[in-house]
Amino acid sequence: MDTAPAESVDVALEDGLWHIRLNRPHKRNALTLRMFAALGDALRAGQSHPDARALLLSGAGSDYTAGHDLAEFVCWPQGPDDPIPRFLRALPKIDKPVVMAVQGVAVGIGATSLLHADWVCSTAEAKIRFPFVELGIVPEAGSTQLLAMSVGLNRAKRLLLAGEPVSGAVAHDWGLVSEIVDTTALLDTARARACLLASRDARAFARSKVLLQPAGLARRIDEEIELINRAVLEHRAPAADRDA
């Protein structure tokens, strides 16, 4: 009998909703490289599936996701066809409704991914954090462009440059979260919001999403990836010199 902890990205088509669930609860759903690859595949599959009218993202257990598993930074630099860049490029290409259900921690990609959602349901107690600069890297997923649009420049600096954590309640007040939901109703409410958005005219919805995206978003995502690659190599260089 296999007793290994779950470590997967689960996908199910539920009444027209393409439900993607991060399933590594014993590690707060921190993403391994394999999970990034599966997540990118799941996004692209949901975008292309004819019966999927909306995408719903959630996390198993008590957290959305603690972000990139830091042990996996050995896999950087990442090339254009590697799992993380492929996932990051897939996010803004989803023209179907995207709803995210946030509880517990939403850190790193757990925070930046929210900027690509059309509706974010969060508990008031959720902890949202962008810890990139303190890790010695720039933020990702176009957040250097999208976050200021969402919460304003000064608040974006507090979140991205200082890495200041905020609760779901504060994130709602600032405009990063669409609505606050009790934990017991979180997933049901997120499903209802996904169904609501899916009921709109699909072509008009998709065209409107494209128009709402800022110019140059894809280029900004690529620039961020390149700067993260550079930072990883710069951090490794002194260690290599010491070992020489």
pLDDT of residue 240: 56
CA distances from 159 to 82, 131, 192, 205, 226 (A): 28, 8, 30, 30, 21
Query: pLDDT per position in the chain (244 positions), as tens?
Result: 455 577 899 999 999 999 999 999 999 999 999 999 999 999 999 999 999 999 999 999 999 999 999 999 899 999 999 999 999 999 999 999 999 999 999 999 999 999 999 999 999 999 999 999 999 999 999 999 999 999 999 999 999 999 999 999 999 999 999 999 999 999 999 999 999 999 999 999 999 999 999 999 999 999 999 999 999 999 887 765 655 5
Neighbours of 213 (CB within 10 A): 17
pLDDT of residue 1: 45
SS3 121: strand
What CATH number corresponds to the domain at position 27? 3.90.226.10
Side-chain-side CA neighbours of 213 within 13 Å: the count stands at 21
Does any domain span residue 195?
no
Neighbours of 131 (CB within 10 A): 16
Does any domain span residue 71?
yes
By the 8 A CB rule, do 22 and 35 touch? yes
| Spatial separation of the C-alpha atoms in residues 79 and 24, rounded to whole Å | 25
Q: Which residue has the tokens 């259900």?
A: 101
| pTM assigned to the model | 0.94
Q: Which residues contact 159 (CB under 8 A, 6 or more apart)?
A: 111, 130, 147, 151, 166
| Spatial separation of the C-alpha atoms in residues 225 and 38, rounded to whole Å | 19
Does any domain span residue 75?
yes
pLDDT of residue 154: 98
Does any domain span residue 157?
yes
**Structural domain range at position 53:** 8-183+202-243
Does any domain span residue 191?
no
What's the order of all strands across the beta sheet hosting 105-107? 105-107, 127-129, 166-167
Our count of domains for the chain comes to 1
pLDDT of residue 205: 98
> DSSP letter at 178?
S
Find residue 102's DSSP bridge partners: 122
| Spatial separation of the C-alpha atoms in residues 161 and 103, rounded to whole Å | 24
